[in-house]
Amino acid sequence: MNITWNAQKYTSDFSFVHKYGEGVMQLLDLPEGANVLDLGCGNGALSALLAEKGFRVTGMDSSPEQLAIAREKHPGIEFLQSDATDFTLPEPVDAVFANAVFHWIDPEKQPSMLRCIFSALKPGGQLVFEMGGSGNCGAIHAALSEEFQRRGLEYDPKKYFPTIGGYAPLLESAGFTVRYATLFDRPTELTGDNGVADWIAMFERTALNCLPDESTRREAALAAESAVRDRLFRDGKWYADYVRLRMKAV
């Protein structure tokens, strides 16, 4: 993972992340009682929803801040702290579910992550996931890049947004067969008068760390927000120009 989370703010102000994850669950074709690993479970909101559907759920995340909230809110679910690119489970599971996780993994570590997942599954087990796809938040990233250039800096978002054609071979190399894939636009409403700047503060913290102080980081985020206003502000609301890649493999 390429970020340290403000877990409380993530839970309170960016709940759309797990709400959109509910749609990904529809790709799971499992009987009640099946074992599911929620990889990159964050605050456990989707782990709890999977459990409500009758699955036996284990949540896994690398963030102690997120896991602290998950364990407090959902004491009946087991949560493990581990790196998605290097983990093992005591017993194989029927499915691995991951929402808004894989784009945080460095491209060179994607193969090892997928091999770990394949090894964690029972024969014929399912991997169902959604991640940022090619072009995700393109307007916001372009505005940040221009703002960094203005300051004599290079902007590196440290995320991985592949195409279907770019990601399917990685899955196949890990042993999977791709059963479903779609790349789609999903404009996502943001909250607050400075929705884009707040989004940048939450999700681009690593990139912003090269700036000297919090005031300068906020200034840069607001400048980028101003640059995308014509594209991403309408009817009194801010939107993020999300593009999502949703896939299922066995």
Which secondary-structure segment (H or E) carries 148?
A: helix 138-150
For residue 224, what are its two tokens?
């980028």
Q: pLDDT: is 106 or 2 the higher one? A: 106
Which pLDDT score, from 0 to 100, does residue 18 have?
61
Q: pLDDT tens, 176-234?
A: 999 999 999 999 999 999 999 999 999 999 999 999 999 999 999 999 999 999 999 99
Contacts of 72 (CB under 8 A, 6+ apart): none
Q: pLDDT: is 2 or 187 the higher one? A: 187
Which pLDDT score, from 0 to 100, does residue 5 have?
44
Which pLDDT score, from 0 to 100, does residue 20 have?
75
9, pLDDT greater than 80:
no
Q: pLDDT tens, 55-81?
A: 999 999 999 999 999 999 999 999 999
Which pLDDT score, from 0 to 100, does residue 21 have?
81
27: left (phi over 0), alpha (psi -120 to 50) or beta: alpha
Start-to-end CA distance of the chain, whole Å, equals 24
Which pLDDT score, from 0 to 100, does residue 243 have?
98
pLDDT confidence tier of residue 7, bands split at 50, 70 and 90:
very low
CA atoms within 13 A on the CB side of 177: 5
Q: pLDDT tens, 10-61?
A: 444 445 556 678 889 999 999 999 999 999 999 999 999 999 999 999 999 9
Which has the closest alpha carbon to 14: 192, 134, 221?
A: 192
- State the average pLDDT over residues 96-112: 97
Domains defined along the chain, listed by start: 7-136+159-190+243-249 (3.40.50.150)
Q: Could you give phi then psi for residue 129, rounded to 5 degrees?
A: -155, 160
- State the average pLDDT over residues 226-246: 97
Q: pLDDT tens, 144-166?
A: 999 999 999 999 998 999 999 99
Q: Provide the mean pLDDT of the chain.
A: 93
Share of the chain above pLDDT 90, in %: 90
Confirm whether pTM is higher than 0.75.
yes
pLDDT confidence tier of residue 8, bands split at 50, 70 and 90:
low
101, pLDDT greater than 80:
yes
Which pLDDT score, from 0 to 100, does residue 146 have?
98
DSSP state of 90: S
Q: Could you give phi then psi for residue 152, rounded to 5 degrees?
A: 75, 25
Catalogue the E-assigned strands of 70-201.
78-81, 93-99, 121-132, 178-190
